[in-house]
Amino acid sequence: MERVYNFSAGPSMLPLEVLEKAQAEMLCYGESGMSVMEMSHRSKDFMDILAGAEASLRKLMNIPDNYKVLFMQGGASTQFAAVPLNLLSERKCADYIVSGQFSKKAATEAKKYADVAIAASSGGANTTFSTIPETTRADFRPDADYVHICFNNTIYGTKFHYIPDTGNIPLVADMSSCILSEPIDVSKFALIYAGAQKNVAPAGVTIVIVRSDLIGNADPKTPAMLDYKLMAENDSMYNTPPCWCIYMAKLVFDWLLSIGGLEEMKRRNERKASLLYDYLDDQHYYTTNVDKKCRSLMNVVFFTGDAELDAKFAKEAAAAGLKNLKGHRSVGGMRASIYNCMPYEGVEKLVKFMKKFAEDNPKLTL
Amino acid sequence: MERVYNFSAGPSMLPLEVLEKAQAEMLCYGESGMSVMEMSHRSKDFMDILAGAEASLRKLMNIPDNYKVLFMQGGASTQFAAVPLNLLSERKCADYIVSGQFSKKAATEAKKYADVAIAASSGGANTTFSTIPETTRADFRPDADYVHICFNNTIYGTKFHYIPDTGNIPLVADMSSCILSEPIDVSKFALIYAGAQKNVAPAGVTIVIVRSDLIGNADPKTPAMLDYKLMAENDSMYNTPPCWCIYMAKLVFDWLLSIGGLEEMKRRNERKASLLYDYLDDQHYYTTNVDKKCRSLMNVVFFTGDAELDAKFAKEAAAAGLKNLKGHRSVGGMRASIYNCMPYEGVEKLVKFMKKFAEDNPKLTL
């Protein structure tokens, strides 16, 4: 069976050369005589993998020294609770910008612990999260313990086109679906977190990059495994970490460094996304409802305008080796997730398929 | 490099044929054209893997229908919080039997949420957790919301030789280091949990087997990802689960079924453990301090009585392909973890090495 182009919103494609390396050393890592999956997390081999993963990530993202890097478990959804549990002061007051389903979920979870205000939202009765709300400092409560955003909205195909100015209020960003897709100024954020399964590694590890001064104030009822202080003090090894996922993450980080880091990754991602957006802008068969300035580099949502045609598209595309193009159930249409590891050729093949499909399936009403 | 015998306390050995199967389908699972690591968790392929893993586990452990099987993240240490958060009633009262470091940690974590009583302990100023406390129903508070035990104590090499009679009080067991090592009557427990990295799969997935009537009473401040109800309602897919670890777990479950299930596994484990314990009982060079009736089938702790000799032993054993025999730092000596996937030949080779080492390193004081 040939490998396909997998446009899944996550988990998603990994670089073939990373998979091949992992496959080659799967039964025996280096001189260890065992698989990374079988290795004591306290062994020198694994400690080197963990330290190497952190070093490579720091280099890639140019993470300042006053930030800790944690490898945690439970995905972004666990961070939805960990963030308020760790960052709230006695005021217990947090502001959320809602730009999609995940930021909404994050705000809902935070309500268990905090007085949550929706500082801005692009949702609502007649809107579809097709844009990102503009904000100014005045939109945030001066006594908020933090402001939370979701930087890229996987479901709707939008991305923050600016970094909100929150003044002295710590800015927290869920970057699950855009981390490592382009350079970002980490110092503009107090905390960045990301589930690994889109741009980093197989599902099962969550990256948390947190400014050191924000660590150590967790609510006394915080589960130990969600306490950033405990995780930081134990170098993410308070208990057995998800070793295989961390190993895969390291291979992906090293692959990113080998191709030229995030500048080069951004160039490639922009080239891929442009190919698709330029085509969409240049025809009338497919529509896309996303505000142009907020277009995601990672997730491109489009529609034929006919649910049956959409279904036919996804089915025929899959048969042609272009898998998982069906849009999210809450949105419909199609979604092409073109994360870091989707090759340019995959998008080329998709655009070619889109053109052919439009020709073969004329819409009667047009 | 040849594969070694890895006596690590966890993560630990996986069956070679499982690793080989995973390796063979690593770049392309079945007809999917992608790795399991790249696969959408909502795809039919992965849904089949998840359902298959649960079905195989139910078959192996003969899990009654009124129990839910959850695949969670965060290891046993996360369950240390999840158990009280989910099982406490308004009484908030829980009893713990302390038989080692992990049951102690579990009790400490529970104190964040509950009035915790240590119903029995085999620790203390002059004891070393070398036995398992005997208990009767009278040792537990009648209004306790649950009784918690750690069924096998990895560090000390002890195992519960009986199932505590808690009457109507739900019995909760951490089985991280003995799950699937022998048949167990699940119906005697209200909840069983286990980190995967010893007998099941690579680190990163936690198995929770919980009686359905205990689900649905979580504390309102329980992080969503720790709420058994949410996990059960979403078939462990409230968010992206650790797909690769679940896939590996399924391969291991199917391997266990293929060799004859837990009866056969028990036979093999007893045969391995007997080889080692019989040798230990039959000589005077090495000592073992564990109460005979509480000896673990999984972790065998022994000492030369001389810290330098112990270190020499671990070093020379490693050079001979018998890795990770150094005891836990809190105990010293040696620890041979002989989990399900350690072959008989590994223990044979170990005993042979032990004999030779004793001959080559006479103790002056004997």
Lowest mean pLDDT among A306-320, B70-84, B113-127: B113-127
CB-nearest partner of B8 from A22, A40, A197: A40
Average pLDDT value for residue range B268-273: 98
pLDDT, position A365? 61
CA-nearest of A201, A146, A356 to B37 is: A201
- Domain A16-258 of CATH type 3.40.640.10: yes
B86 in A contact zone (CB under 8 Å): no
CB-nearest partner of A204 from B39, B43, B245: B245
Q: H or E element: which one contains A272?
A: helix A261-281
- Inspect the interface and report whether the beta carbons of A244 and B26 lie closer than 8 Å: no
B324 in A contact zone (CB under 8 Å): yes
B278-317 per-position pLDDT tens digit: 999 999 999 999 999 999 999 999 999 999 999 999 999 9
What's the pLDDT band for B211 if we cut at 50, 70, 90? very high
Chain B residues in contact with A109 by the CB 8 A cut-off are 223-224
- Inspect the interface and report whether the beta carbons of A204 and B78 lie closer than 8 Å: no
- Inspect the interface and report whether the beta carbons of B240 and A197 lie closer than 8 Å: yes
pLDDT, position B363? 85
Tally Cβ neighbours within 10 Å of residue A307.
Answer: 11
Chain B residues in contact with A323 by the CB 8 A cut-off are 33-34
B39 in A contact zone (CB under 8 Å): yes
A16-25: long-range contacts at Cβ-Cβ below 8 A with a sequence spacing of 24 or more? A16/B27, A17/A255, A18/A248, A18/A251, A18/A252, A18/A255, A19/B26, A19/B27, A19/B35, A19/B37, A20/B27, A21/A251, A22/A247, A22/A248, A22/A251, A22/B26, A23/B23, A23/B26, A23/B27
pLDDT at residue B366 greater than cutoff 60: no
Supply the CATH classification number for the domain A261-360. Answer: 3.90.1150.10
Our CA dihedral for B209, B212, B214, B219, rounded to 10 degrees, sits at 90
Chain B residues in contact with A37 by the CB 8 A cut-off are 11, 14, 19, 201-202, 248
Name the residue of chain A whose CA is nearest to B36's CA. Answer: A202
B205 in A contact zone (CB under 8 Å): yes
CB-nearest partner of A113 from B11, B195, B221: B221
B97-117 per-position pLDDT tens digit: 999 999 999 999 999 999 999
pLDDT, position B364? 73
CA distance A161 to chain B (A): 26
pLDDT, position A125? 67
- Inspect the interface and report whether the beta carbons of A19 and B30 lie closer than 8 Å: no
Contact B35, B28 (CB under 8 A): yes
Structure tokens at B64: 């009654």
Q: Which of A31, A36, A37, A80 to mutate to test the interface with B (most CBs of B within 10 A)?
A: A37
A315 in B contact zone (CB under 8 Å): no
Kindly provide the b/e burial profile for residues B94-132, where b requires at least 16 CB atoms within 10 angstroms of the residue's own CB.
bbbbbbbbbbbbbbebbebbbbbbebbbbbeeeeebbbb
| A16-258 and A261-360 share one fold | no
**Domain positions in chain B:** 16-258, 260-360
A328 in B contact zone (CB under 8 Å): no
A15 in B contact zone (CB under 8 Å): no
Q: CA–CA separation, A266 vs B77, rounded Å?
A: 38
Q: CA angle, corner A324, sides to A310 and B226, nearest 5?
A: 120
Q: What is the pLDDT along chain A (366 residues), one digit of tens a residue?
A: 689 999 999 999 999 999 999 999 999 999 999 999 999 999 999 999 999 999 999 999 999 999 999 999 999 999 999 999 999 999 999 999 999 999 999 999 999 999 999 999 998 766 779 999 999 999 999 999 999 999 999 999 999 999 999 999 999 999 999 999 999 999 999 999 999 999 998 999 999 999 999 999 999 999 999 999 999 999 999 999 999 999 999 999 999 999 999 999 999 999 999 999 999 999 999 999 999 999 999 999 999 999 999 999 999 999 999 999 999 988 999 999 999 999 999 999 999 999 999 999 998 764
State the residue for tokens 């895969």. A248
CA-nearest of B81, B86, B313 to A223 is: B81
Q: Which of B2, B4, B40, B227 to mutate to test the interface with A (most CBs of A within 10 A)?
A: B40
pLDDT, position A237? 96
B134-152 per-position pLDDT tens digit: 999 999 999 999 999 999 9
DSSP percent split of chain A into helix, strand, coil, nearest 5: 40, 15, 45
Task: Give ipTM to 2 decimals.
Answer: 0.97
CB-nearest partner of A39 from B3, B11, B31: B11
- Domain B260-360 of CATH type 3.90.1150.10: yes
Q: CA–CA separation, B349 vs B320, rounded Å?
A: 9
A329 in B contact zone (CB under 8 Å): no
